[in-house]
Amino acid sequence: MDIALIIVLENTLDLSMDLAGKPLIDYIYSIRNKLDPASITVVNGEYKKDPLNCNIVKENVRLLNKEYLEPINLCNYINSYCVDTKILLINGIRPLINEKTLEYFVNNFYSKDKLSLISTSISEKECIYEGCDLVKEGGSLVEIKRAVQEKEKSKQVREINSEIYLTHSNVLKERLTYFANIDKSKYYNSNIPKRGDLIYCKYESEELKKISSYKDLKELSKYIWYKRALTLIEKGADIIDPYNIYIDEEVEIEKGVTLYPFVFLKGKTYIKGDSTIYSGVRIENSVIEVNCSILDNTYIQSSYVGGGSLIGPMAHLRVGTVLRGRNRIGNFVETKKVDIGEGSKASHLTYLGDAVVGKNVNIGCGVITCNYDGLNKNKTIIGDNCFIGSDVQFIAPVEIGDNVVVAAGSTINKNVSSGSLAISRTKQVNKEDYYNKWRERLNKR
């Protein structure tokens, strides 16, 4: 579309900051996708992931420093980069704004010699609001009243300037020049409209919520997370407390899933039906199959959890973990790049990394796959139906066959054939009457 989009932030914001699971700059990109403008400019925005965060072009988004809040500087910028074109000027980032709202506004309210604005309304019995009330006649602006902080004690509808403007570059330059002559250092965004300008009123004011400060960012994040939770409840999820759950936009949750408070679901995560996710769980870019229980304070990263599995509490499934189904991964168990067969379990205090574990394997407490030799990561392979005793160390690379028993306390650094018992520990020696001699030696010190 032949239009320039300018977003003005009166307070400096780092566009890499998170808003309900996505960086702010992604919401600017979403406006680009909705409107497809010829250019996007953000005034007084920073992008700290890029050290050159001033006057740069990043994916067709130009970031300008706070000096461009001065009317004369913004006017000069328009003179250089937005010549003879439509301009959509938005004060603050509007992450909830609807594509149809923007299209309708741009297609029906553009005037080459006037400015058009979107307004919204407040009709609460008692509200506190500080901003600009609009007085209009038909669809045109008659007067702007500066509203001070006060209580409205009636149900009177107040029409409020949302500070979203559409105009021609020449009109905007003219009005910025006017303010530059009044005060060169101050940007009068709310006063840009004047008598005779066009007004498009949107009664659905939720989509016009803006972010112009860090406080706005946090408040809107809570609102977005809450609205997502309500949407999932409507689709059949059981969310115990929709005010305290944090679900990213890309997450998919099937009907019948139960989510307890303080769960974080990030990225491209998919939770399938009849699974339960308990409090304190964080899941990123993972698939949880049907009828799983993820117990409290478990962390799952880029993993696959097969149906009927029980995970946690306080387990850590790191990147590349694949559980084939009906698995038990208990408290203080850590897995990484491991493929664990159906029915196998590691119930507590275990590290399994760079390994393949077969079906119906029991892994005792304190088992470690020693996968790193100081230079390379090496693989441990354990066959089906094995019993691994407590406190076993596998010195990779090593391969264990099917139906193997590994005795507790063993250090295994050689392959074990199927059907064998592997035991590697020193012979136990019992010394009679040792205790009294030991105490006597201690007392002489």
User: What integer is the mean pLDDT of 240-245?
Assistant: 98
Compare 178 and 254 and report the one with higher pLDDT: 254
User: What integer is the mean pLDDT of 281-291?
Assistant: 98
User: What is the Cα–Cα distance from 57 to 42, expressed in whole angstroms?
Assistant: 10
Lowest-confidence region among 11-25, 176-190, 346-360: 176-190
Per-position b or e across 400-434, b if 16+ CB within 10 A of its CB: bbeebebbeebebeeebeeeeebeeeeeeeeeeee
Question: Which helix or strand (DSSP H or E) is residue 83 part of?
Answer: none
Does the pLDDT value for residue 276 go beyond 50? yes
User: What does the DSSP assignment read for 381-408?
Assistant: EE-TT-EE-TT-EEESSEEE-SS-EE-T
Question: Which helix or strand (DSSP H or E) is residue 118 part of?
Answer: strand 116-122
**Mean residue pLDDT across the chain:** 87
Does the pLDDT value for residue 110 go beyond 90? yes
Beta bridge partners, 316, equal: 299, 334
Compare 211 and 125 and report the one with higher pLDDT: 211
User: What integer is the mean pLDDT of 134-146?
Assistant: 60
User: What is the Cα–Cα distance from 411 to 283, expressed in whole angstroms?
Assistant: 34
pLDDT at 36 (0 to 100) = 85
Compare 69 and 333 and report the one with higher pLDDT: 333
Please report, rounded to a whole number, the percentage of residues in the chain having pLDDT higher than 90.
Answer: 61
User: What integer is the mean pLDDT of 391-414?
Assistant: 97
Is 348 tagged catalytic? yes
Does the pLDDT value for residue 56 go beyond 90? no
In this prediction the pTM is 0.85
User: What is the Cα–Cα distance from 171 to 117, expressed in whole angstroms?
Assistant: 13
Lowest-confidence region among 26-35, 185-194, 238-247: 185-194
What sign for the dihedral angle of Cα 161, 166, 171, 175?
Answer: positive
Compare 159 and 213 and report the one with higher pLDDT: 213
> From the candidates 348, 363, 394, 412, which is the catalytic residue?
348
In tens, the pLDDT along 121-132 reads: 655 433 333 445
pLDDT at 181 (0 to 100) = 77
Which pLDDT band holds residue 63 (cuts at 50, 70, 90)? confident
User: What does the DSSP assignment read for 239-262?
Assistant: ES-TTS-EE-TT-EE-TT-EE-SS
Strand 61-64 versus strand 56-58 pairing type: antiparallel
Nearest Cα to Cα of residue 3 among 162, 163, 116: 116
pLDDT at 156 (0 to 100) = 55
